[in-house]
Structure 1
């Protein structure tokens, strides 16, 4: 019990409150919090809830962008928070996760979600193929892809198809080349492992354009007239910009303005109405930069 007129002793786990209202943990507080959390985790006692209490955060809260909050007690060093290790992201669905429609797991489905958490089954899946603009694609997308290219031509837009279907073997070579050229971390931000690639479904198409040949498979493609036309018109042919800007934490890949995925006009309309940009968010399916 504290005597009247005296201030209760400050907990060794408590932060200092700065004049501007921000909290700062002393070195002693950080050490004490780490030791307490480590002991309880070793005993199997409520580590997640305790970590949330120690960081002063709601254990169920999800920060902007959809990534789960990291348990910060183990990463704080004298008032700073160490970067959290990459982890799988469970996207918050904007619509109920159980949306009626085609399968999200069958490799041949137009709604299949393929990312670093969800590989193709089987890994060496190959679709029925057709040739459009000199490239192999899944036969199911051929009519819409031909119509899209014809509409672009009528509008004076010089679209080309630079990549369509890639076999398991071809994706292996593409991924290995990227690793040799850029290193594993950089390569895997832009290139999928074999068995985890949308190109292997035959449903994904990489577009190019004649106005800026130097922007082929480069970020600057997003500033070309061809990219503008795709953003305005590709949806009515069933194509979705699969890796939009700012969604890397959800999709697992850097923005690729050239990579479009056929999902059909019905699903494009549903995503538009829900104001959701990615399949992971719409279906509430896990994604992110970590491979399962």
Structure 2
């Protein structure tokens, strides 16, 4: 019986040299991946992709539900804000806009959710209010309901334990609040109740008002006589302010205007005598609206003047009606002076409008104050005053309770009613 022929199987071999240089052969083994292993691998890949994409999709949907559009969501991810925003459900048009244009200050993200506008001034005001003792919740409620110019007076006013009445008053009078006006139905400060020595007596930016005072012994360090070309005879100012007054009056003269100072530096004793006469004539309450108590007068700084127009003949009372006043009120900051008690801000300054009362603080600072739309009281306490609780420290100057001045016998010569001045 003949055996069937077997097919000759030719195995493909590869030849390669071994370490001795002799060719050797290896058999190529074919391996097949079993289907269960392949399916398992694919399942793992799908799982990894899902773990990477599904949470992102869920987060994107959550951000959309809050109100963010696609472009802003991309920026939220780029700025690593996703978890923070979703966790706290932060959203406002202001916040979204700031994220999109990359101007967001992350330290104040909660403020963006309530304030209509967020810039450096709002950040500083937010921190100042916290530094003054208001809680974060109180401060956020202020920015939620009120404008910047409705909030800044709180830096000047007494601390309000309950802010609800103030907020309600400001909302009711919102049409009376702007950069040029502030008027509420109620008052929120008791003048002279709690007072402090001024922080930096002797500096050009020192604040003197019905809260911050100068000691009775304070005298400007470089007092100098004023020329009769720019002031009434016998008046004095701190030397730098005296030079600035001359520059101011010379500039006015070049415009055909004749300005001069009718009052300048007053020692403590002079202010005491003047205030006592007003009290005797009008009573304390009325006198406090236009005259400072001794120690609380800007005239003691040697940096303040009452301006008049030469040849007007009516003194201070009609100064507002002169061309000199118009020019001075528009240009004084160029020479370092500011109108200290402007019209419309009486509830903040504590004084009636005085178009003649100017304070020297230096050109750079004067321009900033005028541009801010704030009174100097607000500007100083917002930007210049020492912080109370920085590094856990409190204000060094403890509050001082001051008594009302005693009424005295009127002097023989009373001041003219039209010449009321701080």
The total of aligned residue pairs comes to 208
Partners of 2:142 and 2:319 in 1: CA distance: 41
* Residues 66-116 of structure 1: per-residue CA shift (max 9 Å, x gap): 3568765xxxxxxxxxx7465159xxxxxxxxxxxxxx7222110000000
Which residue number in structure 2 is paired with residue 123 of structure 1? 216
Which residue number in structure 2 is paired with residue 132 of structure 1? 226
Which residue number in structure 2 is paired with residue 28 of structure 1? none
Q: Does 1:280 align with 2:373?
A: no
Question: Does the residue aligned with 1:284 lie in a helix, a strand or coil?
Answer: helix
**Which is bigger in relative contact order (C-alpha 8 A, separation at least 6)?**
1
- Choose 251-260 or 205-214, whichever is displaced more: 205-214
Q: C-alpha displacement at 1:270, in angstroms?
A: 1.5
Q: In the alignment, which of 243, 247, 250 is matched to residue 348 of structure 2?
A: 250
Which residue number in structure 2 is paired with residue 87 of structure 1? 189
Which residue number in structure 1 is paired with residue 309 of structure 2? 209
Q: Tell me: CA distance 1:62–1:173, structure 2 relative to 1, closer, same or farther (3 Å).
A: farther
* Residues 175-219 of structure 1: per-residue CA shift (max 9 Å, x gap): 1111112221111111101111100000000011135322x222x
Task: Show the 5 A alignment for 1:47-86.
Answer: 64=150, 66=153, 84=186
Q: Which has the higher helix share?
A: 2
Q: Does 1:113 align with 2:211?
A: no
Q: Tell me: CA distance 1:124–1:87, structure 2 relative to 1, closer, same or farther (3 Å).
A: same
Question: Does the residue aligned with 1:137 lie in a helix, a strand or coil?
Answer: strand
Q: List gaps (5 residues or longer) in structure 2.
A: 1-133, 155-159, 166-184, 192-197, 228-232, 386-400, 404-422
TM superposition score normalised by structure 2: 0.44
Partners of 1:111 and 1:205 in 2: CA distance: 15
Which residue number in structure 2 is paired with residue 44 of structure 1? none
- Contact 1:116/1:291 (CA < 8 Å) preserved in 2? no
Question: Does the residue aligned with 1:206 lie in a helix, a strand or coil?
Answer: strand
Higher Cα radius of gyration: 2
Q: Does 1:268 align with 2:366?
A: yes
- Contact 2:265/2:303 (CA < 8 Å) preserved in 1? yes
TM superposition score normalised by structure 1: 0.63
Partners of 2:316 and 2:287 in 1: CA distance: 14
Partners of 1:62 and 1:116 in 2: CA distance: 26
Q: Provide the alpha-carbon RMSD of the alignment.
A: 3.1
Q: In the alignment, which of 185, 191, 195 is matched to residue 285 of structure 2?
A: 185
Q: In the alignment, which of 267, 288, 310 is matched to residue 167 of structure 1?
A: 267
Question: Does the residue aligned with 2:270 lie in a helix, a strand or coil?
Answer: helix
* Residues 217-274 of structure 1: per-residue CA shift (max 9 Å, x gap): 22x3212111112112211110000000011111111110000000000101212333
Question: Does the residue aligned with 1:259 lie in a helix, a strand or coil?
Answer: strand
Q: In the alignment, which of 132, 136, 142 is matched to residue 242 of structure 2?
A: 142
Q: List gaps (5 residues or longer) in structure 1.
A: 1-47, 53-57, 73-82, 90-103
